[in-house]
Amino acid sequence: MGFRRQTYYKRKSGHRPEVVDDQIAKLLHEVTKEYLAWGFWKVFHYIRNQGVIFNHKKVYRIWKREKLNLRQRPKRQRIRRKFEPISLPKEVNKGWSMDFLSDWVMSSDKKSVRIINIMDETSRRALWTEAHQSISAKKLTDVLDKVLDYRGKPDYIRCDNGPEFISKKLAAWAQKHDIELKFIQPGKPTQNAFIERLNKTLRTECLNLSWFHSLEELNEEIQNWFQHYNFNRPHQSLGNISPYDFERTMLDV
């Protein structure tokens, strides 16, 4: 006739499964509140070790009813880029590279800072370096506008897939100025080798040699170092002359 079996079986005296379910639910909530990172099986074996014996199917049914499953963060879809070999422009100011570098300021409390570096790939000249507590896409485009004002427009800018670089604001800025953004493949920093080498040189010859107690002190030090880097420091890949002298020889040719 379509009746469930429990309908025509006599219930045992005092047996109320809904009360037992509520007791199990209360116990599960107490354990998961104390141990936030535990999943079902860890909680189940824990309460069994405490002397609370129930069938795991029953406990799991209540676990799902109470929605106690751990929330798992969905995996972000990885950005896919085609491999493009590095081709060095034959003229100065045709291609730039840019990247971020992280460091610390030892003020009253230790604060992390980010340094934006922009360079000319042909002459290896550092076009801009500046430290900020944070650098948004808006601040990045403001910096690029300043570089354009005194340097002129390149054909492309090479960068990685950081959130500021793949932002809509930077894409709109590049389209406005007719500049191509060349993105390297994720996890392949060697495809942006020129700026990565500059970052390493800045860290080993400047940042790692001093403690900085304010953002102003850090910016003053890296500005002084980049003046030395651009005008005095011999660069091995340029024939052991400075980037400034290399640009002068390129203009004389």
Q: Mind listing the pLDDT tens digit of every residue in the chain (253 residues)?
A: 565 665 555 555 555 666 778 888 888 888 888 888 888 898 889 988 888 888 888 889 988 888 888 766 666 666 666 666 667 778 899 999 999 998 888 877 778 899 999 999 999 999 999 999 888 999 999 999 999 999 999 999 999 988 899 999 999 999 999 999 999 888 888 889 999 999 999 999 999 888 888 899 999 999 999 999 999 999 988 889 999 999 988 876 4
Q: Cα(153)–Cα(150) distance, rounded to whole angstroms?
A: 9
The angle at the Cα of 118, spanning 204 to 194, to the nearest 5 degrees, equals 60
Encode 20-45: b = buried (16+ Cβ within 10 Å), e = exposed: ebeebbebbeebbeeeeebebeebbe
pTM over 0.75: no
**β strands within the chain, DSSP E:** 95-106, 110-120, 126-132, 156-159, 180-183
Round to whole Å and give the CA distance between 235 and 241: 5
Token pair of 219 as six digits: 């910016």
Tell me the three state secondary structure of residue 230.
helix
Rounded to 5°, the CA angle 135-153-244 comes to: 85
